[in-house]
Amino acid sequence: MSLSFPETLSLFDRYVIPNYKRYPVSLVRGEGPYVWDSEGNRYIDFFPGWGCNLFGHCPPKVVEAVRQQLGRLIHVPNSWYTEEQGLWAKLLSERSFGGKAFFCNSGTEANEAAIKLTRLHTDPGKYKIITFMRSFHGRTMGSVSATGQAKYHEGIEPLLPGFVYAPYGDLDAVKEAVDSETAGIMVEPIQGEGGVRIPPEGFLQGLRDLCDENNMLLIFDEVQTGCGRTGNWFAYQHFGVEPDVMTLAKTICSGIAAGAMLTKPEIAPSLRPGMHAATFGGNPIAAAAGIATIKMVEEEGLLEKATQMGAHFRTRLEEMRREIDIIRDIRIVGAMIGIELQVEGGKFVQGCMEEKLLINCTQGNVIRLLPASNTPLELVDTALDILESQLRKG
């Protein structure tokens, strides 16, 4: 395959539903922090795979594990056991809160499972789930109903009933929203798409206490923050607050499609046989990629590397903030970086792309970077030089 960009574009114009805003670039190959387009340009990718590609593109250990698995067993449904799925669940469980896993194929699906489990597990009559403004939980009807952003609801109402949106970080508002029908609270321990927002001190613990007092489940959506992105295995570990249910996707397989929900062992039986399923969930390819991802994080010390990377970003970005007026706030946890601007950020994404650096802007004015956690710090500097020269243009 070696189509020119105009040839690929004409295929999309004719045959692909235009539900995404796409940059006029067709990507053909990736390696570590770099990705190449059909015209031979090389880019530094600081938003690889929307944050899925934890080690950038095509990490050799994951590629090799998947290659071997492909030749052994591609897919068998969940009416049988596979050792790969069992081992993957064990590795995730041991690094989190000792729970049990349900596997699926995406973040939104993991959250659907969490919504169903929450309604199944709690007392009859309880069905409401408190979620947060500027949250993002996915696009299927349950998860999009959980998402506290009106722009994603326009035209598709009625939503799934039972979601109540509270301001992120406002514990009093959450307390007020709880009633006898509330089954749980679903929250990103650090909001991602909402603008890399870190909760105020005590907020997550406050949610934990509320759930304990009212027989509700606490669900952490770690689809974006999980599996080492923030310098801990899971973002909740920064705050010392354990959830009852945790959802994962994006990062867990280094870019192979997969999702998972973990829940405490005593809650797990509430998802009874026949109540939930996913044809491809926990398939051997995803499991092989998931196992290889966890091993790679440990063998290469990538939790420490993500932490070091965060510190490096902080030093550089604080310097930039002193000199560049439009930088309003900097929010960093490991390899998850948000730079809030006083102006719209789209033109900086465009400007960086022209300088062969790929970044993201969310919520209109927050530059979001989710670089591979093994990106060499010299390359971080190269990328930040490009970003800085764009931001200096104002």
Ligand X SMILES: *Cc1c(COP(=O)(O)O)cnc(C)c1O
CA gap 152, 144 in Å, rounded: 7
Say whether residue 340 binds ligand X (CB under 6 A): no
Give 256 or 384: the residue with its C-beta nearer to ligand X: 256
What binding mask, one character per residue, do residues 278-317 give for ligand X by CB under 6 A, x or -?
----------------------------------------
Is there a contact between 341 and 328 (Cβ–Cβ < 8 Å)? yes
CA angle, 238 then 241 then 243, to 5°: 120
Using DSSP bridges, classify how beta strands 259-263 and 217-221 pair: parallel, antiparallel or unpaired: unpaired
Say whether residue 30 binds ligand X (CB under 6 A): no
Tokens of 1: 């395959």
Say whether residue 146 binds ligand X (CB under 6 A): no
Say whether residue 193 binds ligand X (CB under 6 A): yes
CA gap 28, 212 in Å, rounded: 50
What binding mask, one character per residue, do residues 70-109 give for ligand X by CB under 6 A, x or -?
------------------------------------xxx-
Task: Give the gyration radius of the chain's Cα atoms.
Answer: 21
Say whether residue 112 binds ligand X (CB under 6 A): no
Say whether residue 255 binds ligand X (CB under 6 A): no
The angle, 0 to 180 degrees and rounded to 10, between the axes of the packed helices 346-354 and 377-392 is 120
Question: How many residues line the site for ligand X (CB under 6 A)?
Answer: 15
Tokens of 329: 């706030």
Q: How far is the CB of 38 from ligand X (least distance, A)?
A: 25
CA gap 232, 226 in Å, rounded: 8
Give 8 or 360: the residue with its C-beta nearer to ligand X: 360
In Å, what is the CA distance from 206 to each residue of 152, 189, 235, 259, 357? 28, 12, 16, 28, 40
Q: How far is the CB of 138 from ligand X (least distance, A)?
A: 4
Q: Phi-psi bin for 75: left (phi > 0), alpha (psi -120 to 50), beta?
A: beta
CA gap 15, 26 in Å, rounded: 16
Give 369 or 386: the residue with its C-beta nearer to ligand X: 369
Task: State the greatest distance between any 2 C-alpha atoms of the chain, in Å, as a whole number.
Answer: 61
- Look-up of token digits 């397989």: 253
CA gap 55, 306 in Å, rounded: 11
- Look-up of token digits 């994080």: 297
Strand order in the sheet with 336-341: 327-333, 336-341, 366-369, 360-362
Say whether residue 223 binds ligand X (CB under 6 A): yes
Say whether residue 224 binds ligand X (CB under 6 A): yes
> Contacting ligand X (CB under 6 A), which of 84, 112, 188, 340?
188
Say whether residue 336 binds ligand X (CB under 6 A): no
Q: How far is the CB of 378 from ligand X (least distance, A)?
A: 29
Q: How far is the CB of 319 from ligand X (least distance, A)?
A: 29
Give 210 or 249: the residue with its C-beta nearer to ligand X: 249
Give 26 or 106: the residue with its C-beta nearer to ligand X: 106
> Contacting ligand X (CB under 6 A), which of 33, 99, 138, 338?
138
Give 38 or 111: the residue with its C-beta nearer to ligand X: 111
> Contacting ligand X (CB under 6 A), which of 45, 84, 112, 221?
221
Binding segment for ligand X among 10-18, 132-140, 295-303, 357-365 (CB under 6 A)? Answer: 132-140
Active site residues: 136, 221, 250
- Residues near ligand X (CB under 6 A) are 106-108, 111, 136-138, 188, 192-193, 221, 223-224, 249-250
